[in-house]
Amino acid sequence: MLRRKLLSVFALYAFLLPGFAFAQTPSSTGSATANITAPAPYQAPKEIIDRIKEEGSKNSQVMRTLSYLTDVIGGRLTGSPAMKRANEWTRDTMTKWGLQNARLEAWGPFGRGWTLKNFDAQIVAPSDIPLIAYPKAWSPSTNGTITADVVYFAPKTDADYEKYKGQLRGKIVLVSDERELKANFEPMGSRRTDEELAKMAEAPDPATVPRNNTGITPERMKMFMDRFVQGAKRMNFLLQEGAAVMVDNSFNGSGGTVFVQQANVAQEIPKSMEEYFSGKRLPPQQKEAESKMIPQITLATEHYNRLARMIKFGEKLKMAVNIQAEYDDKDPMAYNTIAEIPGSDPRIKDEIVMLGGHMDSWHAGTGATDNAAGVAVAMEAARIIQSLGLKPRRTIRVALWSGEEQGLLGSQAYVKQHFGEMKGGDMFSMMAGSEKTLQFVKQADYEKLSAYYNLDNGTGKIRGVHLQGNAAVAPIFRAWLEPFKEMGATTVTLSNTGGTDHLSYDRIGLPGFQFIQDEIEYDARTHHSNQDVFDRIQADDMKQAATIMAAFVYQTAMMDEKIPRKVVK
């Protein structure tokens, strides 16, 4: 999942609602009174649900899949050889399980791959201090080991810049503020409480919530721009002054957990809010970005803070840093892995039910909770249906995305190619809530998709499902959750959730759903950190999630009608 608290407007874009306001699909009878006589929603026979549960608990492969993706393949940065290996391994694994048409679908061009080959960083004077640190993704290499003075430079004003002019050449520069760490009195992991779930169940239709209450306020937009300008100005200065290495402070976590994402690139400074929101950025995976970056690393906060405090005492620090990373320019395209269980009903076998999650990750950990978990669960859900020989009426299609961490890029490209796209929208009008210029271009399969189910909120089990304002689906999903009550999945909420690939569908009015999951340690420990590893995965939660996803997908493939859609007001 993309990170909401932090920054880039591109990431925020992934949380926004579709360009159109959607209303509910009118029920076939069209009025609330008539709904009383509406037929009960389709449900699979109890015997089938029991078999799904049994396969999902007794013969589960979900942890094996997870272990291979995280332990053997490791971190899967989009465009990297490891990501490609994961694409191929998931394709081949699903083929072995008997799924059909398993393939890689290219999208892009995305840019270059990046693989860390060798890295160390430590303080070598006035004493030796080993450091917990990681290079940022797509950081350039250093020219062998650089040993240089450490300077603390966290500029706030133009005067700060003036003061450091001519001071940074060849230096290793600490650019963040110290971050105070408090003792953790709250547990790191938690499950959703009954009260929290009850509140979610009562959430209003998001279409009726004023835009300012969704958190996208003018103040917030300005804050995003200010933060961008500050970062861009700083990188422009470091580059211009010839600094050797940029060092920042992990923005979250403690106890050696380091949260680290992509490298900063020097950027043009936008002159207005409109320019900021519609302006082009140079992302670090573009080849042209290499000359607009300096090598950069992120330090664990305990270590960063210590160095900052030593400098305040007037200590003269020297750091030795060696970053050896390899760019991969052979293939600028990125890939999604796709596989199918073909439909069996001649009337509706061309219709599609999709499920998936994103397979790309950040590089400091092994992308276990974000999001090998979702990948393994989606694969396992398909495996359960396939291994039981259930013969779904519609085609079931698994999609394992890449480029999610860079802004839902893989799913967006897939949806655009197969289903359709909103054209002419720019970020400024989206942020400002005026999307009049949008035009919808439909592709051939737009009418064929029933629904897409996504899992990308970590290792936590499924507690229910977000409807994204699609009230017509509520009775169906309530019926489908019924057999999973004692497994903790009870809640249907009208509310939206953002930050992940179901939005690529939702934005063009296709039913795309993300399940409600327990948070466990997602924001506190794993999400984009060096501790996002296999050992943070909860096996029972993964099995529960795969079982429920299998049941949802299977029933979507079996019902007479497609899942109802939201309609344009």
- The contact set with Zn ion (CB under 5 A) reads 1, 370
CB of 455 to Zn ion, least distance (A): 13
Coil, helix or strand for 461? coil
What is the DSSP annotation of 251-271?
A: SS--TT--B--BPP---PPPS
Residue nearer to Zn ion on the CB measure, 76 or 397? 76
Residue 91 near residue 339 (C-beta atoms within 8 A): yes
CB of 457 to Zn ion, least distance (A): 10
E strand or H helix at 113, and its extent? strand 113-125
- For CA atoms 259, 262, 267, 273, give the dihedral sign: negative
Q: Which residue has the tokens 């509406």?
A: 38
Cα separation, 533 vs 299, whole angstroms: 19
User: What would you measure as the largest C-alpha separation in the chain, in angstroms?
Assistant: 81
Residue nearer to Zn ion on the CB measure, 150 or 368? 368
CB of 500 to Zn ion, least distance (A): 8
CA-nearest of 416, 461, 449 to 553 is 449
CB of 24 to Zn ion, least distance (A): 31
Tell me the one-letter amino acid at 558. Answer: M
Can you count the helices (H) and strands (E) in the chain?
16, 20
Coil, helix or strand for 96? helix
What is the DSSP annotation of 206-254?
A: GGGS-GGGGT--HHHHHHHHHHHHHHHHHHHHHHHHT-SEEEEE-SS--
CB of 405 to Zn ion, least distance (A): 5
CB of 304 to Zn ion, least distance (A): 23
Residue count (the chain): 569
CB of 82 to Zn ion, least distance (A): 16
Residue nearer to Zn ion on the CB measure, 370 or 421? 370
Residue nearer to Zn ion on the CB measure, 373 or 546? 373
CB of 370 to Zn ion, least distance (A): 4
Residue nearer to Zn ion on the CB measure, 357 or 564? 357
Which parts of 107-167 fold into alpha helices (H)? 158-164
Cα separation, 15 vs 525, whole angstroms: 22
Residue nearer to Zn ion on the CB measure, 1 or 150? 1
Residue nearer to Zn ion on the CB measure, 370 or 506? 370
Cα separation, 547 vs 492, whole angstroms: 18
CA-nearest of 272, 270, 248, 275 to 260 is 248
CB of 524 to Zn ion, least distance (A): 15
Cross-strand bridge partners of residue 121: 321
Non-local CB neighbours of 414 within 8 Å, separated by 6+ positions? 105, 107, 336, 399, 401, 504
Residue nearer to Zn ion on the CB measure, 22 or 401? 401
CB of 281 to Zn ion, least distance (A): 19
Chain residue whose CB lies nearest Zn ion: 370
Residue nearer to Zn ion on the CB measure, 11 or 289? 11
Residue nearer to Zn ion on the CB measure, 3 or 292? 3
